[in-house]
Structure 1
Amino acid sequence: MTDMTSRQDTSAAPPEELRVPVPGGELAVLRWLAADPGAPVVLALHGITANGLSWARVAHHLAGRVTLVAPDLRGRGGSGTLPGPYGIAAHADDTAAVVAALGLGRVVLTGHSMGAFTAALTAVRHPGLLSGLLLVDGGVGFPAPTDLDPDELITAVIGPAMRRLSMTFPDRDAYRAFWQDHPAFADAWSPWVDAYIQRDLVGEEPELRSSCRIEAVRDDGIDQLGEQVLGAVHRLPRPTTLLWAERGLMDEPQGLYDERRLAAADLDPHLVRPERVPGVNHYTILVGDEGARLVAHRLLAEAGLAETDMEV
């Protein structure tokens, strides 16, 4: 595995896990504290079948210069037992509840994949929360096939990530092997990736399963295609950058975005600045070393840190 480098030290303090009251129960929230209690706060939202620990490698590169807060969204990870209603607006309002409950004040808001759509809608619904905004391989809609039913469409987009929700695994090694065989992770396996995917498991051996509730993924996937969510990126209260991965969810050459799809999205160039990230796929833009390093660099810039502080 080419990404197992000497920089892969995971000795940084692990995140603390908090519980935040939201409608229907409590949201699990991971928090990596900054060395300076007065440091800026980044609130990071994960993808449709992910969890908050997907941001761990970004936290490593942030290196305590900001506080990073990453919830497990409703229906995933430590928030897997939270009931619906699901949908992007529900996640946006849960995000606002996290900011209020933890007294975070104004935050740099970011999201990956579905989390980017959630970040965009949160910015529209709760503009007073933001001090900065960064979208990572998501948040901008693109034409979808019209001949597929919703489950087929979601599976077509996210592939094995959707199919695994109905699978069981005899032990943690089997789940690890499932992900190590995924082409997007073939050259990017690391302790951070391992910890992130292991957080997803619930149940007992020999019937471990994903914590992601299939109804949450289905509802969120369908809602993500709706006018309210797709329109959010055109109504943002402040400019943002969209970092988009060159390669796709299966490490295929066609990523979620390309210049043609972005041109078709008719983005306001003063509001959204797309930036291609070469050499990464939909996952490694966040969990790979170079992708996480770039994301951390941009988050530090959004937090207003001086250029000399951004050697990530």
Structure 2
Amino acid sequence: MPRDALRRWLVAPLIALAAATTALAQPADAGPAMRAQAVGPHSHYVEGLTQLGSPKNQNFISNAGFVITPEGVVVIDALGSPRLAERLTQTIRELTDKPVTHVILTHYHADHIYGLQYFKQLGAQIIAHSASREYIQSDTARLRLEASRTELAPWIDGNTRIVPADVWIDGPTSLKVGGVVFDLVPVGPSHTPEDLAVFVPSENVLFAGDLFFNGRLPFVGQANSRQWIESLERLLAFNARVVVPGHGAASQDPRKDIATTRDYLKHLRQSMGAAVNDFVPFDEAYEKTDWSAFSPMPMFGPANRMNAYNTYLLLEQETLKKP
């Protein structure tokens, strides 16, 4: 056998073994990348994927923020699985060794709360609006968790549970941690009955939760879209330098970016409202509506028809309540 061929014959198994060893060294549950992005001197967020939740993405489809104070770290929203909360904590540890002392929830939707139990184990105090209690005790929450244990396994499993808050608030509340003030402002019922906006005056940063979806279509669900539109104006009144949405990239131009969510909600109400007033069946109304201003946006396919239908039903109810 020629010398070069002999060398290749001897070295090939070693190369294969090294490659196999490297593959085994990679964590099987690494999941999608998670990176802290600074939005203020001490404020950061991680941006979830513009996707539906799946085992592949560990339900990393929403944002979470955190603010590092001299006393500890305050987290805003807990992400969509215990594993993601653990990874968020590891991301925080890359910037500080201070403990996570508080978790503030903007609302109790599944993609923002299934990480709570991890933070609870760390000893963090959980704060949320008291209107969340109805959801926690509802069949909707129970059935959603049961479905998630199948659809999002192994990241959501039989050990995953819905964790209630330690502190329930009913109105505007100021929290001070390490001298840093957090203004918790109820802005619901909008996207949910319990929507909270979290403003950090010293950073001039606003964490808006799912009132604001940046660069993509929102999921309207059972939202009160009339109130939601009004609440978006309240977000702008903070005059924040940066607004961190529940989904999508942080906005450096809140007036422009928030207007997209507002205009979409207005379009839903105007188009579906006209159909309700004229007794046009939903399917016909949907097909006749011009969606071209919004159809290029991410998540239009999964979200728009459901959003339109829920808005149609909402406006039917509003019509029946008119004197």
Structure 2 length-normalised TM? 0.28
Larger C-alpha radius of gyration, 1 or 2?
Answer: 2
Structure 1 length-normalised TM? 0.29
Q: Which has the higher contact order (CA 8 A, sep 6+)?
A: 1
